[in-house]
Amino acid sequence: MKAEERLVIRPAHIQQLIDSLIRRGYRVKGPVVRNEAVVYDDLSSLEDLPIGWTDEQGGGRYRLRRRDDEALFGYSLGPRTWKVFLHPPERRLWKAERNGRGFRIIEEEERPPLFAFIGVRPCELHAISILDRVLAGGEFVDPSYRARREGLFVVVANCGEAGGTCFCSSMDTGPAAASGFDIALTEVVTAEDHYLLAEAGTGKGAEVLGETGGVRPGEAEITAARKTVEEAAARMGRSMTGSDLKDLLYRSYEHPRWDDVARRCLTCGNCTMVCPTCFCTTVEDRTEITGGTAERWQRADSCFSAEFSYIHGGSIRSSPKARYRHWIMHKLAAWVDQFGRSGCVGCGRCITWCPVGIDITEEVGAIRKNGVRGSDREGEG
Amino acid sequence: MSTAFMMREADDRDPMVPRLFKVRRKWREARDIFTIELSPDEGTHPFSAGQFNMLYLFGTGEVPISISGDPARPEVLLHTIRTLGAVTRALQRLKTDDLVGVRGPFGNPWPVDEAEGGDVVLVAGGLGLAPLRPVLYTLLARRRSYGRIALLYGARKPEDLLFKRELERWRGRFDLDVEITVDIATGDWLGNVGVVTKLIPGVPFDPLSSVAMVCGPEVMMRFTVKELLRHGLAEERIFLSMERNMKCGLGLCGHCQFGPLFVCRDGPVFQYSRIKELFRVREI
Amino acid sequence: MRTLEDILLRHPFLKGLDQKYLKLIVGCASNVRFRAGEFIFREGEEANHFYIIRHGKVALEAFSPERGAITIQTIGEGEILGWSWLFPPYHWPFDARAVELTRAIALDGKCLRNKCEQDHDLGYELMKRFAYIMDQRLQATRLQLLDVYGVHDERG
């Protein structure tokens, strides 16, 4: 990145950023506080941002808390991921209309909005690039995803805080983004100063950034921004490492830990809903009561339901154990074979939003502890 | 944001939108199994032996069904279907000229070309004969390209046997070994009674040059593989057709995963050596 | 014309058997032939023989008044039929009926039992061969029991 593509902007300049994107025709989405959580939704003004809020997170726990400063991006991650805009949880695929004994199919003339996302965390940026591979990188392409994805403008907010369940630094997906954004912001809040170091990653990004009224950064400002991110990395309490993870898991289909986690897992599917890369869908047919028109919808689906693997005769994965195992196996092992990299970005949402606090890093750690069938009897009376 | 690294070029057709085919004929094969013949108003629908289509019925839903017809006749599509649920029951009620939505063909075919020059053993169990029939059509059309050809077919009862007239015709050929067995029969059945694996020792094939293609319920395929291996066939020479819950046929919906494989995209036909580890795992 | 000894030697069941044992067995053997539909033995009868099938096909049947004869298994060329002569009370548990013209070699069970008692090495050789066949048939029966082609769920 060339130095002139970096600017220091003040919190108030974010308004110019939003305005400039709206002027260009973007539908701007970003973090807002709703129902006691930070979620991503429409953003029209600086005041919509979660100014002065942060979150406390742990296994099965999420609370918003006031900060003692006015940070714009001082929270870590909420339950909603950007996939709700790029790969909507519900989408009509087409309609069919009866005509006489036959029917005709009316294709969707979908013109999705041109999105600009503000406040994309580095781990989430990796999640989007993973979805690119899954939904738009193979032999078949999801046309809706591609249409939504193609014009996307991304403003990253590098992390100055490590969330309570984050482990991105061990997954090599954060807490700072190296590429793949139009603009990346690093917010620095000290007792004396509050600014954002903004870096343009594309020509389009540089153009938009140029309209915000920022100034050239000094060496001290660049150093402080770097240190903020480094500190976030150092404060991360969890990790999940190992280039051997795929092979380790493939060897562990019969590991006793799956029985252990199955006793805790409620198979509610929360983890798959909050996961930024879980992409599975099902289809649903809806018929108008008179039977004149029928619609086919695509809906988000979860591998935690027994229906998910149903073939005539029964469900392939009928036990909770098999379903949990499938999820981890897919995310951390099979994904590598299917799409060339792990499906996990270390955002920690599945830990936070699991009602019983199952921790993927802990489960993997337990499997790593060379388990032999019948040997794992701790905690059983 | 730069998106050039991965995204594929746009293609005209949305793969989730079916093409409409007309029902030409429909006939009963066994108690709960029927064959439906579909064709488009214009054009053809080329496919390879072992591929499947997603069949959509107005307002009812969509089901994956393997193609049971002759790949050399792409102007008609044959599907042999067991009535099991809402969609298949509704398909059975269709009349001539009714419309069916078709997406496909999907999946990888049987290794018909790769098997040339050697013996071929087809082992079918129950409805598993349907996706193997296109193989047999192709083998017989190119009969001189193959060594011995054997079809071993197991069903539950004599009345469950599919394609009875064709089976009789095939049994009459001197260049084809057809052995049929049922699990249970009453007095008037003069054929074999016993499991399909019992037929394997009875057919002569050269294990070093043979290719086996196996389709049936998973348990039946497991036992069959064991028997084929015992007769000296290498793991690489055994091919199976797997079944999982297929919804999109494109590898995009995640439903049909079998370990790291998508059955719709990487299968349904797999080389046994590639899936043998997965084959052993329960509920995978 | 092939001798009984030749035929026995070539049959898979006795393949590799020591020549001296083969000679003992030939002493208990005779050529038999059944027409299509003919019963080879009936359920409950005394089991005095077993059969080494040379050609043809035999159905093992159980008769049920309302369903008629139910075929449990068919046995053909290269296989053997019957081991009830080995275990008391030496009775056949099923009917065996030739489905087509069947040629076999019948072995006298009583004669063989005596020879096995006198020479346990012969007894062990034969037991091994029967145990293998019993194992194969048991596995096949288990697979039949699984009813793999049946429909086990009405949803879908």
Comparing C-alpha atoms, which of A228, A225, A185 is closest to residue A205?
A: A185
Say yes or no for a CB contact (<8 Å) between B125 and C149.
Answer: yes
pLDDT at C156 over 50: no
What is the reported pLDDT for B116? 96
CA dist., res. B173 & res. A380, Å (int): 65
Exposure letters A87-124 (e unless 16+ CB within 10 A, then b)? bbeebebbbbebeeeebebeebeeebebbbbbbbbbbb
Say yes or no for a CB contact (<8 Å) between A310 and C151.
Answer: no
8-state DSSP, B108: B
Inside any domain, residue C84 = yes
pLDDT, one tens digit per residue, over B26-43 is: 999 999 999 999 999 888
Residue A74, Cβ neighbours under 10 Å: how many?
22
Dihedral pair phi/psi, residue B87, rounded to 5°: -70, -45
CA dist., res. C41 & res. C96, Å (int): 5
Tell me the chain A residues in contact with residue B16 when contact means C-beta distances shorter than 8 Å: 93-94, 296, 298
pLDDT, one tens digit per residue, over C47-81 is: 999 999 999 999 999 998 888 899 999 999 999 99
Compute CA A193 distance to the chain's CA centroid, rounded to the nearest angstrom: 31
Comparing C-alpha atoms, which of A94, B183, A307 is closest to residue C73?
A: B183
Tell me the chain A residues in contact with residue B13 when contact means C-beta distances shorter than 8 Å: none
Tell me the chain A residues in contact with residue C152 when contact means C-beta distances shorter than 8 Å: 313-314
Show the domain range for B60: 3-106
Give the ipTM: 0.89
Say yes or no for a CB contact (<8 Å) between C71 and B195.
Answer: no
Could you tell me if B125 and B234 lie in one domain? yes
List the structure tokens of C16.
């590799």
Say yes or no for a CB contact (<8 Å) between C155 and A311.
Answer: no
Inside any domain, residue C153 = no
Average pLDDT over residues A96-121: 92
Dihedral pair phi/psi, residue A231, rounded to 5°: -65, -40
Could you tell me if B144 and B216 lie in one domain? yes
Could you tell me if B58 and B159 lie in one domain? no
Comparing C-alpha atoms, which of B26, B69, B32 is closest to residue B157?
A: B32
CA dist., res. B55 & res. B65, Å (int): 7
Tell me the chain B residues in contact with residue C77 when contact means C-beta distances shorter than 8 Å: 202
Say yes or no for a CB contact (<8 Å) between B59 and A294.
Answer: yes
Task: Give whole-number Cα distances, A200 to A193, A210, A314, B1, in Å.
Answer: 22, 9, 53, 10
- How many angstroms away from the CA of A312 is the closest CA of chain C? 5
Q: Where is the domain boundary, B106, B140, B156?
A: B106
Tell me the chain A residues in contact with residue B253 when contact means C-beta distances shorter than 8 Å: 280-283, 301
**Upstream peptide bond of B105 is cis (omega within 30 degrees of 0):** yes
Q: What is the DSSP string of B14-37?
A: -TTSPEEEEEEEEEEEETTEEEEE
CB of B82 within 8 A of CB of C154? no
Residues linked to residue A123 through DSSP beta bridges, in sequence order: none
Interface with C, mutate which of A307, A310, A312, A318 (most C CBs under 10 A): A312
pLDDT at A379 over 90: no
Show the domain range for C62: 4-148
Q: What is the full per-residue pLDDT of chain B (284 aa) written as tens digits?
A: 444 344 555 456 789 999 999 999 999 999 999 999 999 988 899 999 999 999 999 989 999 999 999 999 999 999 999 998 899 999 999 999 999 999 999 999 999 999 999 999 999 999 999 999 999 999 999 999 999 999 999 999 999 999 999 999 999 999 999 999 999 998 789 999 999 999 999 898 999 999 999 999 999 999 999 999 999 999 999 999 999 999 999 999 999 999 999 999 999 999 999 999 998 899 99
Q: Based on the structure, what is the number of domains in chain B?
A: 2
Dihedral sign computed on CA atoms, order A363, A364, A369, A370: positive
- How many angstroms away from the CA of C146 is the closest CA of chain A? 13
Could you tell me if B60 and B10 lie in one domain? yes
Interface with B, mutate which of C63, C74, C152 (most B CBs under 10 A): C74
Inside any domain, residue C45 = yes
Could you tell me if B199 and B128 lie in one domain? yes
Instruction: Order the strands of the C102-108 sheet from edge to edge.
Output: C29-34, C102-108, C49-55, C80-81
Which chain B residue shows the shortest CA-CA distance from A106?
B17
Could you tell me if B8 and B34 lie in one domain? yes
CA dist., res. B201 & res. B180, Å (int): 13
Task: Give whole-number Cα distances, B151 to A81, A286, B133, C57, C70, in Å.
Answer: 53, 43, 10, 19, 25
Residue B142, Cβ neighbours under 10 Å: how many?
13
Inside any domain, residue B268 = no
Say yes or no for a CB contact (<8 Å) between A314 and C151.
Answer: no
Residues linked to residue A157 through DSSP beta bridges, in sequence order: A185
Of C57, C68, C149, the CB nearest to B126: C149
Could you tell me if B153 and B231 lie in one domain? yes
Inside any domain, residue B249 = no
Say yes or no for a CB contact (<8 Å) between A280 and B251.
Answer: no
Which chain B residue shows the shortest CA-CA distance from A283?
B247
CA dist., res. B70 & res. A29, Å (int): 53
Tell me the chain B residues in contact with residue A154 when contact means C-beta distances shorter than 8 Å: 1
- How many angstroms away from the CA of B159 is the closest CA of chain A? 21
CB of B125 within 8 A of CB of B211? no
First to last CA, chain A: 59
Cα torsion through A57, A63, A69, A74, rounded to 10: 50
CA dist., res. B123 & res. B220, Å (int): 10
CB of B246 within 8 A of CB of B150? no
State whether residue A311 sits within 8 Å of chain C by CB: yes
Q: Is B117 exposed, middle or buried, given 0-12, 13-18 or 19+ CB atoms closer than 10 A?
A: exposed
* Contacts of residue B1, Cβ cutoff 8 Å, sequence gap at least 6: A152, A153, A154, A180, A181, A182, A201, A202
A344 dihedral zone (left: phi>0; alpha: psi -120 to 50; beta):
beta
What is the reported pLDDT for B11? 53
* CATH number of domain containing B27: 2.40.30.10
Query: Helix, strand or coil for residue A9?
Result: strand
Of A96, A143, A319, the CB nearest to B283: A319
Which helix (DSSP H) or strand (DSSP E) does residue A337 occupy? helix A335-339
List the structure tokens of B270.
């797999």
CB of A29 within 8 A of CB of A40? yes
CB of A349 within 8 A of CB of A165? yes
Inside any domain, residue C42 = yes
Tell me the chain A residues in contact with residue C153 when contact means C-beta distances shorter than 8 Å: 312-314
CA dist., res. C42 & res. B150, Å (int): 35
Tell me the chain B residues in contact with residue A117 when contact means C-beta distances shorter than 8 Å: none
Inside any domain, residue C68 = yes
Say yes or no for a CB contact (<8 Å) between C149 and B154.
Answer: yes
Could you tell me if B130 and B102 lie in one domain? no
Inside any domain, residue C155 = no
* CATH number of domain containing C62: 2.60.120.10
Could you tell me if B219 and B133 lie in one domain? yes
Which chain B residue shows the shortest CA-CA distance from A246?
B260
List the structure tokens of A127.
């999640």
CB of C4 within 8 A of CB of C103? no
Compute CA A245 distance to the chain's CA centroid, rounded to the nearest angstrom: 21
- How many angstroms away from the CA of B89 is the closest CA of chain C? 10
Inside any domain, residue B282 = no
Inside any domain, residue B233 = yes
List the structure tokens of B234.
């290498």
Cα torsion through C1, C3, C8, C10, rounded to 10: -50
pLDDT, one tens digit per residue, over C75-118 is: 999 999 999 999 999 999 999 999 999 999 999 999 999 999 99
Of A133, A253, A280, the CB nearest to B6: A133
Q: Based on the structure, what is the number of domains in chain C?
A: 1
Reported pTM = 0.91
Contact partners of C by the rule of 3+ C-beta pairs under 8 A?
A, B
Higher-pLDDT residue of C143, B239:
B239
pLDDT, one tens digit per residue, over A151-200 is: 999 999 999 989 999 999 999 998 999 999 999 999 999 988 999 999 99
Which chain C residue shows the shortest CA-CA distance from B222?
C143
